[in-house]
A = this chain, B = another copy of it.
Amino acid sequence: MSHFLQLLLLLAIVVTAAKLAGALASRIGQPAVFGEILVGLVLGPTVLNVLGWPLFAAPAGGGAAGESAALLPVFRDLSEIGVVLLMFVAGLETDVAELRRVGSVAFWSAFGGVVLPFAGGAAVAVAFGYPLYWEGIFIGAILTATSVSISAQTLIDLGALRSREGSTILGAAVIDDVMGIIVLSLVVAFARASAGGVNLGQIAIVGVRIAVFFAAAVMAGRWLPHVFRWASALGVSQGVLGAALVVAFLYSWAAEYVGAIAAITGAYVAGVLIAQTEFKKQVDAGIHPLTYSMFVPAFFIGIGLQANGRELGDRAAFTVVLVLVAIVAKAVGCGVCARLAGFTTKEAVRVGAGMISRGEVGLIVAGYGLASGLIDREVFSASVIMVLATTMVTPPLLRLLFPPRHGPSVVVEETVAGPPEPVEAS
């Protein structure tokens, strides 16, 4: 079978598996993303090892054109485009005004929920024999960011999205998404700069590059409304969406090439900036079909395809401790800070529990660490287990802590990274 036929078949399997698993997960009260990651693990080397099947073996002679690529690298490129799009959508959904309203409680709660898991993760890593630089610090970074999508969906399911605690959880989850990305960017930048031994001059250069990128990104952001107005007036099909993709891709590229930070940070910044233009809704309507039909399934399934649960054998203790620390450190860090910032104990406990779930950002950080050699495949696999466990524990916990909802049960469409997407025309 030729390379391209293999790719078509793989994509068909991936989209089918992701959508079925997402639906099954929803049926048993779990977020869809939980099912998608889990089915990825099943398809990957942990259980079925689909890509190892003879069906997907490299075609003899490299195909008719003689220049086709191997299957896994192409699939990885599609996954990486998926995570760039996912972070762009997350940026697009970030409501800066809403964040200002939720105010200081959300900020301090997020802060506590970043610092304690970061310290806890690094401590666990060191206790299990990993060096602090950079494995320990990277494992800490993996534990920082709450999944804004999983929290939001759970709150919607519980009818508690607009409660005081609900708003705080959502605001804090968004803030620590940002904090998580900043932590990742700093860790990556400093780890790279010091790869040849810690060098203050190089770290200073990295600092300047980060500053230059953010300054240029914000300045260029002022031109975005003009760019979109212009693209809209071009009269070509999908002109606005095309412009959004170009902006997202260029910001991603510039983030890593100019700013020495992660490409996904650039995509997120592009999304936040576009969200503040009058074209947000138009971009939103087009980006969801593009992102969620094929690319995001490729990303979540790709996580499972890269993780290998069989490798966890002698790291089982590390994994279990990492999961426990991830849960306790986040709940305590967020809860205590919320209490100190003025919430009642009951409210603070709810906020703490609502922040436990990890998702995209943790996986992105872990995937980034794996790709750049800062963590090994076993730590990556442990991180995937951590994301699965925290994602699984949050919905039942919140259901225990929040009062039973009133009124009829409403089925809300699952969304992976933000509020419900616009209904497709019919």
Residues of A within 8 A of B (CB): 1-5, 7-9, 11-12, 15-16, 18-20, 22-23, 26, 32, 64-65, 67-70, 72-74, 76-77, 80-81, 84, 231, 234-243, 245-246, 249-250, 252-253, 256-257, 263, 281-282, 285-290, 292-294, 297, 371-373, 411, 413-416, 421-422, 424-426
Contact = CB atoms under 8 A, between A and B. Distances in A.
Nearest to A70: B69
A74 B72 contact: no
Contact of A23 (B2, B9, B239, B411): B239
A74 B263 CA distance: 19
A3 B73 CA distance: 10
B235 A12 contact: no
12 contacts: A5-B253, A8-B84, A8-B253, A16-B246, A20-B234, A23-B239, A26-B235, A69-B73, A241-B292, A281-B426, A285-B426, A289-B289
Given A16-B246, A241-B292, 6 more contacts: A19-B242, A20-B234, A74-B77, A237-B416, A237-B421, A240-B424
A18 to B, nearest CB: 8
B239 A425 contact: no
B237 A414 contact: yes
Contacts of A8: 84, 249-250, 252-253, 263
Contacts of A237: 22, 32, 288, 292, 413-416, 421
Nearest to A243: B19
Which secondary structure dominates where chain A touches chain B? helix
B15 A424 contact: no
Nearest to A21: B236
Interchain residue pairs A-B with the least CB separation, the first 9: A69-B69, A286-B289, A69-B73, A23-B234, A285-B425, A238-B292, A12-B249, A241-B293, A22-B236
A421 B290 CA distance: 15
Contacts of A22: 234, 236-237
A395 B272 CA distance: 43
B425 A5 contact: no
Contacts of A65: 76, 371
A268 to B, nearest CB: 14
A249 B11 contact: yes
Nearest to A281: B426
A378 to B, nearest CB: 16
A102 B246 CA distance: 42
Contact of A11 (B68, B245, B415): B245
Contacts of A422: 425
B292 A413 contact: no
